[in-house]
Structure 1
Amino acid sequence: MELPVMPPVRPMLAKSVHEVPRAPGLSYEPKWDGFRCIVFRDGDEVELGSRNDRPLTRYFPELVELLRAALPPRCVVDGEIVVVTGDGLDFDTLQNRLHPAASRVRMLAERTPASFVVFDLLALGERDLMGEPFAERRRLLEGILSRELARVVLTPVTGDPDVAQDWFTRFEGAGFDGVMAKPADLPYEQDKRVMWKVKHERTADCVVAGYRTHKDGQGVGSLLLGLFDDQGDLHHVGVASSFTAARRRELVDELAPLRVNALDDHPWREWAAASTANTANTADIAGTAGTGSRMPGGVSRWTGQKDLSWEPLRPELVAEVRYEHVQSGRLRHGGRLVRFRPDREPASCTYAQLDEVAPAELAALFGEGAPS
């Protein structure tokens, strides 16, 4: 492979802001919820590179064929790998695609095929475009992408902040992360936060039912969070993490009283017993241990043999947690601890407090790129 822009390329990044920026000369795009990916095509050779230099080509063979048909013979494009369903983008299914077994990869490629959203052009033919303004890269991109392949989609773009605000609000239910904004005269600057992203953010009161030790073995790495359903079952909905080293150590002492006799009446005690016996379900990070409730069990399917063992706590503590959005009953991207709430009863921590956003039809915005 010989291109004017060669792998690896570090994707251009964005800084978080709390509202849609409004300034002259900005372009806005929906923020897709998938795997960031730089595609390199040189004739029949196609390589898919992740933002962390992890090669993605072997996991998405169906995309290699699609991109070979949709893109010019020699080019480099920036985009996002997504899985689109009738209810929106499905990130959990996308994560399942990262499987080590070749036979499983082939099967998943047929059962849950991925799509690719293109939003930038880094090279075309012999021309390196990374020094060109975004407006020029976008103009060229619009002229080269085949529109006949529904699963290779050119992302919408607008210069109207009111339209961007509408996208931010209206399409959250379809699984979008939010909205991106970038100056029209912006060159492509690798690994620099020179764009802006506006993401949905809310808070919820959750039961703290356990914790995992930090990967360095020092202190609490993440709090395991639960919410009650209408039947009174406590479901694992995600974690709160990103503590400083000092706070991780403090949390060990703060949570120590709740470790006493924690498993006596713990709603996830069956998973804990299965984990101790090394018989936990390893197919999913949210195992069920035969109860029908989501539990924090199993070996992560996208991080190999990462240790997901946990320390049970009596489910008596309530934490206010900041989160972005909920998908399949879980907090996407994890949460951040705001504060503990000794004034709240654990039983009051139910799914009813979560904002419900009706799924939007992708076809309303993306036409032929959406599923039927």
Structure 2
Amino acid sequence: MADRNPIDELPAGARARLRRSACPKWVAPMLATLKEEPFTRKGWLFEPKLDGERCLALRCRADVQLLSRNQKRLNDTYPELVRAFRSQKAERFAVDGEIVTFEGDVTSFSKLQQRMQVRHPPEELLRKIPVWVYAFDLLHFDGYDTRQLPLRNRKELLQKALDFKDPLRFIEHRETAGEAYYREACSKGWEGIIAKNGDSVYVSARSREWLKFKCTKEQEFVIGGYTDPKGQRIGFGALLVGYYEAGKLAYAGKVGTGFDEETLRRLGRQLAQLETRTSPFAAGPSPPRAAHWVKPKLVAQIGFTEWTPEGKLRHPRFLGLRSDKRPEEVVREQ
């Protein structure tokens, strides 16, 4: 007996919302809105917030494409994930997920940097920094656009549509009890949790149907300059970072910690190639005068303890570069 198509197992009301569709070549991602206070609410699903790289996995028969949230092709960076999706029995799908590696039991964006920056990784690096992809949504399956299905049905379909074995994993979720799950996540050292309305459709925009709650304060910032190194330090001293506000780059502070020597060398070379004569900062507090300015092309993930009343970062630390986000998308989150 042939395997039953999981679409046939959907409720009749859900099947009526499916639309025939060719294999998509790209779907802009749905983004969560940052909120401060977690909640408990019937009908909502709560997932761990993973500290990795967003990935859209597209398969159309023999062709498999892994794309970042800003449409950069990731096939050469994560060949083991390409193989995992190509080995699936299903031949037409679009899966939304997150690529991660672990430091102990916790996902680590900083450690993932060692893979994100390398195309065609050697076997030694594949063994040293193994990666997994956690799938959390299904946007297309077997010739149908599934984005108008309620999230709950999309997840049920996703779980049946693919064969989940390492390095491909299905992200688990909790129902209703978001406050307890948030406390558990923070006690385990996770980045936070994501709350999703179980009835929500998939939209290619930032939405309040998906909410994120962070255990630690961190976000992306645009690099607009750097200072000279002092003493035995190599590369550069500190990064000058900011965010966009009403179309202008607002200065947010200096970041001088979180770098190892390899990062100082590599990032130092990148910054030197982007140098410009004028400051890109046009809003916020005044940046230091003794600085090298760069074109605002690089985005960094920065952790910090809080914002000062003057609008600057307190105790910032560098976590890594983000190649999956455009500088003009970076705004103040907290």
What residue in structure 1 maps to residue 259 of structure 2?
Answer: 286
Alignment-mate amino acid for residue 117 of structure 1: Y
What residue in structure 2 maps to residue 157 of structure 1?
Answer: 173
Residue 298 of structure 1 pairs with residue 265 of structure 2 = yes
What residue in structure 1 maps to residue 26 of structure 2?
Answer: 8
Contact 2:23 2:143 in 1 (8 A): no
- How far the C-alpha of 1:19 sits from its partner, in A, is 1.6
SS of equivalent residue, structure 2 residue 87? helix
Contact 2:217 2:303 in 1 (8 A): no
- How far the C-alpha of 1:46 sits from its partner, in A, is 1.2
CA RMSD of aligned residues (A): 4.3
Structure 2 segments unaligned to the other structure (5+ residues): 1-19, 228-236, 277-286, 291-299, 318-334
Structure 1 segments unaligned to the other structure (5+ residues): 204-213, 216-220, 225-235, 256-267, 269-284, 290-295, 315-330, 341-348, 355-372
Alignment-mate amino acid for residue 338 of structure 1: T
Alignment-mate amino acid for residue 136 of structure 1: N
CA deviation profile, 1:222-253 (whole Å, cap 9, x unmatched) = 688xxxxxxxxxxx8987633765864x99xx
Alignment-mate amino acid for residue 30 of structure 1: P
Residue 196 of structure 1 pairs with residue 169 of structure 2 = no
SS of equivalent residue, structure 1 residue 67? helix
SS of equivalent residue, structure 2 residue 38? coil
* C-alpha distance in 2 between matches for 1:122 and 1:90: 27
- Distance verdict in 2 for CA 1:71–1:133, change over 3 Å: farther
Matches within 5 A, 1:52-67: 52-67=70-85
SS of equivalent residue, structure 1 residue 298? helix
What residue in structure 1 maps to residue 302 of structure 2?
Answer: 333
* C-alpha distance in 1 between matches for 2:241 and 2:215: 17
What residue in structure 1 maps to residue 196 of structure 2?
Answer: 182
Contact 2:226 2:238 in 1 (8 A): no
- Distance verdict in 2 for CA 1:305–1:98, change over 3 Å: farther
- How far the C-alpha of 1:85 sits from its partner, in A, is 4.0
- How far the C-alpha of 1:132 sits from its partner, in A, is 0.8
- Distance verdict in 2 for CA 1:287–1:168, change over 3 Å: closer
2:96 to 78, 90, 94: 78
Alignment-mate amino acid for residue 27 of structure 1: L
* C-alpha distance in 2 between matches for 1:247 and 1:162: 34
Alignment-mate amino acid for residue 241 of structure 1: G
What residue in structure 2 maps to residue 241 of structure 1?
Answer: 242
1:169 to 186, 191, 194: 186
Residue 131 of structure 1 pairs with residue 104 of structure 2 = no
Q: Which has the larger radius of gyration?
A: 1
- Distance verdict in 2 for CA 1:238–1:66, change over 3 Å: farther
* C-alpha distance in 1 between matches for 2:117 and 2:128: 14
- Distance verdict in 2 for CA 1:339–1:243, change over 3 Å: farther
* C-alpha distance in 1 between matches for 2:90 and 2:238: 43
* C-alpha distance in 2 between matches for 1:60 and 1:177: 23
* C-alpha distance in 2 between matches for 1:183 and 1:90: 27
- How far the C-alpha of 1:300 sits from its partner, in A, is 2.6
CA deviation profile, 1:198-230 (whole Å, cap 9, x unmatched) = 012459xxxxxxxxxx86xxxxx4688xxxxxx
What residue in structure 1 maps to residue 16 of structure 2?
Answer: none
- Distance verdict in 2 for CA 1:238–1:192, change over 3 Å: same
* C-alpha distance in 1 between matches for 2:141 and 2:172: 21
- How far the C-alpha of 1:62 sits from its partner, in A, is 0.9
Contact 1:60 1:105 in 2 (8 A): no
* C-alpha distance in 1 between matches for 2:119 and 2:95: 28
Contact 2:29 2:205 in 1 (8 A): yes
* C-alpha distance in 2 between matches for 1:302 and 1:70: 41
Among the aligned pairs, what percent are the same residue?
Answer: 24
Matches within 5 A, 1:198-277: 198-201=213-216, 221=224, 241-242=242-243, 245=248, 248=251
CA deviation profile, 1:1-30 (whole Å, cap 9, x unmatched) = x97341221110011000213333211111
- Distance verdict in 2 for CA 1:71–1:161, change over 3 Å: farther
- Distance verdict in 2 for CA 1:5–1:167, change over 3 Å: farther
**TM-score (structure 1 length as normaliser):** 0.58
Alignment-mate amino acid for residue 308 of structure 2: V
SS of equivalent residue, structure 1 residue 179? strand
1:19 to 37, 43, 50: 37
Count residues with an aligned counterpart.
261
* C-alpha distance in 2 between matches for 1:240 and 1:101: 27
* C-alpha distance in 1 between matches for 2:242 and 2:51: 20
CA deviation profile, 1:341-371 (whole Å, cap 9, x unmatched) = xxxxxxxx999xx9xxxxxxxxxxxxxxxxx
